[in-house]
Structure 1
Amino acid sequence: MRFSQRFKRFEVQSETEITRWINDDIKPIEAGRRTWGFWTFNNYWILINSNISTYLTGSSLIALGLTWWQAIISIVVGNILAAIFVVLNSVPGASYHLGFPVVNRYVWGMYGSQFVILNRILLSLVWYGFQAWVGGECLYLCLLALDPHLEKHIPNHIPESTGMTTAQFVAYILFSLLSLPVIWIHPHKLKKFFYGSSATILIFELALLIWALATMGPSGFGDTISSKSSSVEENSSWLIAYGIISTIGSISAGILNQNDYARFARKPKDAILGQAFSFPLYGISCSVIGILVTAATQNRFGGAIWNPPDIFSTLIANGGARERAAGFFAGVALVVSQIGVNVPGNALSGGFDFAATFPKYINIRRGAYLTALLSVACNPWRLVNTATVFISVLGSYSVFLGPMIGLMISSYFVVHREKINVDDLFVGNKHSVYWYTWGVNWRAIIAWICGVAPSIPGFVASIDTSLTVPIGLTHLYYICFLVGFAISATIFCILHLVFPAKDVVHFVASISSPKLLMAEYQGRWDSDITDDVSKNAYVVDREIS
């Protein structure tokens, strides 16, 4: 008894009656927290799509054997397709104000959804660690500008095999500490941070491009922008296709859980219009700037330097006070950029998913800090060594995430026809229409496996280059996201048609208009405290009975 009482001290405070399925951070967002307008979503995608990872997209594609113009084609097409998927997958969150973990309950079942949630938690940990390490490189640049002999003043005691020095690890820790205050901010209060950080990033990118072009000199662009493709001509089209899917793969984790942010939209059109144009605009712009800046500085540096911190480190090493000042302010802008992408894109995503998994003890804030803490175990300094490995990792995620996204979109628009029983998403027993079979929708499992399976041989061969698979399976892997998306979505719809979930079919047929249903639920969640308590009691009563 004493132990349980001590453990009770760690329970989260919640105005909503907490069950296994709900707390304040998991329930539908009420009017007071729906603060994201068009410009909030616009600034959000500046942060997510204007960072070093996006900047390096061109280097990753060129390393595969594409020319600069083939890389740009892949970037443009990939970002446009990704924007379409982002908008489609945002509609449930924007309309019903539900987050990613809750949305997947009507797709996979009340317990089955945990598979997707755990998958997204793992991605959050890996990506937070990676982006934090990159942020540490940016902070290292600031320290190097202040002290060009930094490595001497902080002696290295870390083995060379780790790929880092003590000074770099210190910079990583400092960046992680700087991120903690931003993690504390609740998502609906991030607007001011978005405005300040997005403006900083845009100014930096524009200044970097102008500087690179203005100081390029008579030698012009390096061979980065003029060299021929290193691939055989007949393979170029497949490499472009692979580049397109790799571009989508780089943001596929964000596409998967975009409902977590779309649910904060004041109106559905704010999420739709705010993302439809901003997503491809900033993703394409940042990637193209990366190619142009690298090509414009290649002859000066004697080789292609893709990573922005490396550009300014080189300037500091070969320059004077002006170069050190430029390096310091560039480092500050890049640190802001990395915090801007890492906190909302990874820490908060992990926070949402942890809160949905352990709603009694974890809220978004605790979950976000837990994500930051556990990410260290991923050894982020080992995640990326070369551009080719980087793009291979990004592409591989598409094998598993494409089918998941296909299930989510087809489930909402085709199977459920935009009609969702919100109350039943918080009832974990047979009284919920989304209970399916013992809390699991077996149709989703079969459809996901069918979507993943065709790309597995090519995926394995891409990891273990000693293995050879038929060229057809390799090409199938090159377009794994689209293939997996289409197969899983189609089979999922067919299975629901041939083996219908009777409770779901009955509910969908009983509702005449999804817009009226959305308005009804929104009115209930926007009501006063008395009504909210009554509603909570209704959900809890169904949960117990």
Structure 2
Amino acid sequence: MATPARTTQAATTRPVRYAPHLYNDDLAPVRKRTWGTYSIFALWMADTHAISNYTFAAGLFVLGLAAWQVFLALLVGITIVYIGMNLMGHAGHRTGVPFPVLARVSFGVYGANIPALIRAIIAIAWYGIQTWLASVALVVLAVQVFPGLSPHTTNDVLGLSTLGWAAFGFMWLVQLLILSRGMETIRKVQDWATGPLVWIIMLFLAGWLLIKAGFDISLTDSLTDLPASEQWRQSIAAVGLTIATFMTLILNYGDFARFTKSHRAYRRGNLLGLPLNFSLFALASVLTTAGAIAVFGEAITEPVEIVARIDNPWVTLVGAITFIVATVGINIVANFVSPAYDLANLAPKYLNFKRGGLISAVLAVLVMPWELYSNPVVVNYFLGGLAAFLAPLVAILLVDYYLVRRGHIVVDDLFTDETSAAYYYRRGFNPIALQAFLPAAVVSGVLALVPAFSAVAPFSWVLGVGIAGGIYYWRSGRVRTGPLPNEVIACASSSSTPTGSTPAPS
């Protein structure tokens, strides 16, 4: 499809023709911004109200940290995440482009496929795993409601039972139907169908257990006699792991911030959804675990199991459905949007957001996620390498945007491979970005994955950020205090056509 010539408005006006293999409507600066504060808040509810986050917080409590220590550690970690989201959100909102297009600024118009594919591979694998986990809960629910289905859980077809395949296929199809309708449908679903429902169930569980326990639950006592030094070590590790877990979404947060109505909208949504909501959810998780110990005599770190122990079929039914919906919510936010854009970036002439999403969904089945998840070694290495490889990418993008370019970006040049364009570099690749990323990824990857460095593994991302950011800043040669002759940033609130120069980010 031919695209019109665009004009960069700057000191020296020159025509720019968008290349069809770099541009489509989904990758272009967003034209309609409909996401307000609540939509971003709901996005974080959908992402943080996951069973994995519940288990993480509850696990720290069972390990021996007091409730207040778990709360404080996760509050510190999520506050740092909040700052990172705001920094990346600024770039996404001002340019109005998704992550893989924004990465063209630092890596080049073709080099951006490197960080995009790294992010996509991680997301696709987790998309499959989360879909399968939701299907497992659906199988348990189906057998409880219809006991006659039990015989269909005993056979094995490529690793899943007949009922397992049916549940997996159902969850896969439901998610695909939601996702195929685009980002606006995703916003509406997450606004009302994920986070709020989970909070209702969590408050019910915590309240029911507190009443059953006679409100005899301490926020200062720990379950084990961990030495004070070990408690602090575990607390600091929890801070690092919290940041590492959210590194995926820090990287591609522009995919969401681009749709917000104002800077205030995503900043307020981040504040409500991250430091406030995440920390309170962690506290509710710990209180629920402590209540389960008092009522059932053992630590239960799976909320679905607690729901099942309440002798009321309706509670079990509603609770199981709620946590299935929550798993779908986090899957959509964290594991689908990014690869849909990332794959579309590979061939924009042929792939848009929906087609990229369909390919992601198909690949998520082909990797056989139940086999990945059943192998602890694979899961541990996969999780360990997550932040190790993503943190250097985050550092490069933020250092480039804030320190090197001071927020001045030629939006038109993101969609052209003319040799004179700002982001063509050398044959479409920026060698400085690659020189910064590779050593940082190697060092942080070794620290994260080699057992000998397990004590510092939760903080391997810190070294990755420092090495990548430092090399990129040093190799870039100078800090720019203003726009280059043809460098502007588009105000893309109503059109994909740049409207003039704006000051550096504040």
User: TM exceeds 0.5?
Assistant: yes
One-letter amino acid matched to 2:490: M
Q: In structure 2, how many angstroms separate the alpha carbons of the residues matched to 1:133 and 1:67?
A: 33
Is contact 1:58-1:290 (8 Å) kept? yes
Residue 13 of structure 2 is matched in structure 1 by: none
> SS in structure 1 opposite 2:477?
helix
Among 241, 259, 262, the residue aligned to 1:264: 259
Residue 14 of structure 2 is matched in structure 1 by: none
Using the TM superposition, name which of 13-22 and 419-428 deviates more: 13-22
1:84 aligned onto 2:83: yes
Is contact 2:30-2:494 (8 Å) kept? no
Residue 129 of structure 1 is matched in structure 2 by: 128
Residue 428 of structure 2 is matched in structure 1 by: 439
1:491 aligned onto 2:493: no
One-letter amino acid matched to 1:518: A
Encode CA deviations 1:397-448: one digit per residue, 9 max, x unaligned.
Answer: 1111111111111111111110000111111231211111222111111222
One-letter amino acid matched to 2:44: W
Q: In structure 2, how many angstroms separate the alpha carbons of the residues matched to 1:305 and 1:58?
A: 12
TM (norm. structure 1) is 0.80
One-letter amino acid matched to 1:172: F
The Cα shift of 1:36 comes to 0.8
1:158 aligned onto 2:156: yes
1:481 aligned onto 2:447: no
Encode CA deviations 1:301-331: one digit per residue, 9 max, x unaligned.
Answer: 342221222223444xxx4xxx211111112
Q: In structure 2, how many angstroms separate the alpha carbons of the residues matched to 1:372 and 1:395?
A: 24
Is contact 2:61-2:286 (8 Å) kept? no
Is contact 1:95-1:518 (8 Å) kept? yes
1:204 aligned onto 2:175: no
Using the TM superposition, name which of 200-209 and 55-64 deviates more: 55-64
Q: In structure 2, how many angstroms separate the alpha carbons of the residues matched to 1:114 and 1:382?
A: 28
The Cα shift of 1:117 comes to 0.7
1:366 aligned onto 2:341: no
Residue 345 of structure 2 is matched in structure 1 by: 356
Is contact 2:59-2:301 (8 Å) kept? no
One-letter amino acid matched to 1:437: R
The Cα shift of 1:489 comes to 1.3
One-letter amino acid matched to 1:134: L
Q: In structure 2, how many angstroms separate the alpha carbons of the residues matched to 1:488 and 1:73?
A: 29
Among 410, 426, 431, the residue aligned to 1:421: 410
The Cα shift of 1:139 comes to 2.0
One-letter amino acid matched to 1:375: A
The Cα shift of 1:506 comes to 11
The Cα shift of 1:22 comes to 0.6
Q: In structure 2, how many angstroms separate the alpha carbons of the residues matched to 1:61 and 1:394?
A: 18
What aligned pairs does 1:72-471 form with structure 2 within 5 A after superposition?
A: 72-148=71-147, 150-152=149-151, 154-158=152-156, 165-197=161-193, 198-217=195-214, 220=216, 226-228=222-224, 234-315=229-310, 319=311, 323-384=312-373, 393-462=382-451, 469=452
Q: In structure 1, how many angstroms separate the alpha carbons of the residues matched to 2:138 and 2:37?
A: 32
Q: In structure 1, how many angstroms separate the alpha carbons of the residues matched to 2:443 and 2:432?
A: 18
Encode CA deviations 1:347-380: one digit per residue, 9 max, x unaligned.
Answer: 2221111111121221111211221221123332
One-letter amino acid matched to 1:203: I
Q: In structure 2, how many angstroms separate the alpha carbons of the residues matched to 1:391 and 1:63?
A: 20
Using the TM superposition, name which of 383-392 and 397-406 deviates more: 383-392
Is contact 1:424-1:434 (8 Å) kept? yes
Q: In structure 1, how many angstroms separate the alpha carbons of the residues matched to 2:406 and 2:490?
A: 13
Is contact 1:21-1:427 (8 Å) kept? yes
Q: Which runs of 5+ in 1 are unaligned?
A: 1-10, 463-468, 532-545
Is contact 1:45-1:278 (8 Å) kept? yes
Q: In structure 2, how many angstroms separate the alpha carbons of the residues matched to 1:15 and 1:147?
A: 58
Using the TM superposition, name which of 413-422 and 384-393 deviates more: 384-393
Q: In structure 2, how many angstroms separate the alpha carbons of the residues matched to 1:225 and 1:386?
A: 35
One-letter amino acid matched to 1:56: T
Q: In structure 1, how many angstroms separate the alpha carbons of the residues matched to 2:377 and 2:309?
A: 23
Q: Which runs of 5+ in 2 are unaligned?
A: 6-17, 500-506
> Greater share of helix residues, 1 or 2?
1
Residue 537 of structure 1 is matched in structure 2 by: none
> Is the alpha carbon distance of 1:507 and 1:357 closer, same or farther for their aligned partners in structure 2, counting shifts above 3 Å?
farther
